Amino acid sequence: MSSILLLTSSPRPDSLSSKIAVELAEKIKANNPGKTLVKRDLAADNLPHIDGPFTVAIRTPADARTPEQQELVKVSDALVDELLAADTVVIGTGLINFNIYSSLKTWIDNVARAGRTFTYTETGPKGLATGKKAYIVLASGGVYSEGPAAPLNHAVPYLKSVLAFIGITDVETVYVEGVAFGPEAAEKAIGAAQARASELALAA
């Protein structure tokens, strides 16, 4: 059975990126009752950061790993399996210091695995996590989708680059932006994002 993988990363209880990402994922699920919805709150999961022993472990063939190395890669393996099982990925993040939350970066570090989600070939790297549709929900106080601040938006270009590297090239973006410009602007931004999410869900 195909699944929708929902990744939220904001530590804020009133997170707009999480709110819209959840709504989008649930609308896709409602329009596709045969899919299962898998939710992962990266801010709460506290995933392990990669370190030296982990790097050695993932470069060791699975059948040659020590029990300690098997334990080190267990979480990463589970995350990769979760990603590969999904045909839809919804990612929610706020724009923090012009990029994504560190919790989301840690998830990426755990799933971008040579031999699992990408491989090296004679013609260069090739993504293995193909056949998936991804949605990025980005919330920000200012406007970063266009205009003078757009060059500071490193989050969406980075996420698209990483997703493409592992084989996910069909990506849509929902912006919840300008929410720091007052209650009226925030309400307008949320409404626009919800409308965009509904439109994308109908086409999913």
Where residue 11 falls among pLDDT bands split at 50, 70, 90?
very high
Can you say whether the dihedral through the CA atoms of 140, 142, 144, 145 is positive or negative?
A: positive
The domain of 129 spans 3-203
Q: 1: pLDDT confidence band, cut at 50, 70 and 90?
A: low
- On whether 17 is known to bind a ligand per the annotation, the reply is yes
- List pLDDT tens digits, range 145-182: 999 999 999 999 999 999 999 999 999 999 999 999 99
Considering the entire predicted model, what is its pTM?
0.95
Which pLDDT tens digit goes with each residue over 35-81?
999 999 999 999 999 999 999 999 999 999 999 999 999 999 999 99
Structure confidence at residue 2 (pLDDT): 87
User: Is 16 known to sit in a ligand binding site?
Assistant: yes
- Total count of domains within the chain: 1
* Angstrom distance (rounded) from CA 117 to CA 115: 6
Where do the H-state alpha helices sit in 90-182?
Answer: 102-111, 155-165
pLDDT in tens, 95-128: 999 999 999 999 999 999 999 999 999 999 999 9
How would residue 200 be classed by pLDDT, with cut points 50, 70 and 90?
Answer: very high
Q: What separation, in Å, do the N-terminal and C-terminal C-alpha atoms of the chain show? A: 16
Residue 107 has phi, psi (to 5 degrees) of: -60, -45
Mean pLDDT of the chain, nearest integer: 96
Q: Which CATH number goes with the domain that contains 119?
A: 3.40.50.360
Hey, which residues does 93 pair with through a beta bridge? 138
Per-residue pLDDT tens over the stretch 69-85: 999 999 999 999 999 99
Do the beta carbons of residue 88 and residue 129 sit within 8 Å? no
